Structure 1
């Protein structure tokens, strides 16, 4: 679908939905707080957390797909704007964003789709599988900390020049094709940090929801060997 296609450029005036992919091994506040802020500030009708089965840039996950999905459900149970989409967990091979977006556009043919990423992902966006086609199926929302400054390579700079918008209404009025930057709280926490803390018998309190902490402890996850 080229960017000149009427389905991409026409005004649709329908509230967009968002998708945030990740291994979520485990999910933590560094995922959840930016997700909620984007959902509220951009006025998405729903933001779906999209756990990967096998991320293309990772060899494996520590926990099974079933357990990672369960932790996501526990984490978002009390937040009605956040939901889970498990389509990638059903794949036996690495999940590519372009393939997921094609499926999503079939499921939501008339709804603008926003794919949320961090600044680090945008910096390497031109290395993604079929990256030139991604904006045919969605908008990109790039989360960043306040006052960020970044040097982009020539390919990303050209992409931003052609597709960047400062108007969040574009995300709802157009089906796809825009890149929007959104300031969010950037918490210095990572899944690997949490796994390391557990293996070293250190506290993980205040890094992720208590419901997820309780599940990790009850199931004795992230001890020494993969689940």
Structure 2
């Protein structure tokens, strides 16, 4: 399955989540930036509110696409110990990368949310959406961040994933939906005809569109 773009991928994914449509206490949390166009389509189809959970990959120095770990809102930090050991990455290097990414995480949170509070997740069914899963490091950090708030249920939903990552994540949440698990996988972007970088402006525009319809539900505490 080759997706035309993230919008089309979100529409396909939404059909696989149809059982969650029009339910109370459902929240779609997209991982910016690429997960937001996907999550927007999911939220729209399910008639559910949309927000973002900012997660940052901790890339291996000189090979930043390879994740040695990830951080997420709420002070979550995870490490891929096998990658750390394989590349013999010292603690001080990990700490330096983490500080850099923490700075970017806070910048994005401020840009996307401003002074709006993070939604209360307690008792909610949270659907975590991204444009794909490769190593799963950022999604696992997102799951840990969400579980700190005691949701009723955590669902992972992605258009495409490495088969082994999708299988591994099944034990971490109540439900996972990977619409496409191709073998060989290689990378997320290979399974999209168009895979441009999503911009900060696009993220804010989609959040504003979604929140115009669901603001009382999302942010009422």
Could you tell me the TM-score, scaled by structure 2's length? 0.38
Larger Rg: 1
Could you tell me the TM-score, scaled by structure 1's length? 0.37
- Structure with the bigger percentage of strand: 2
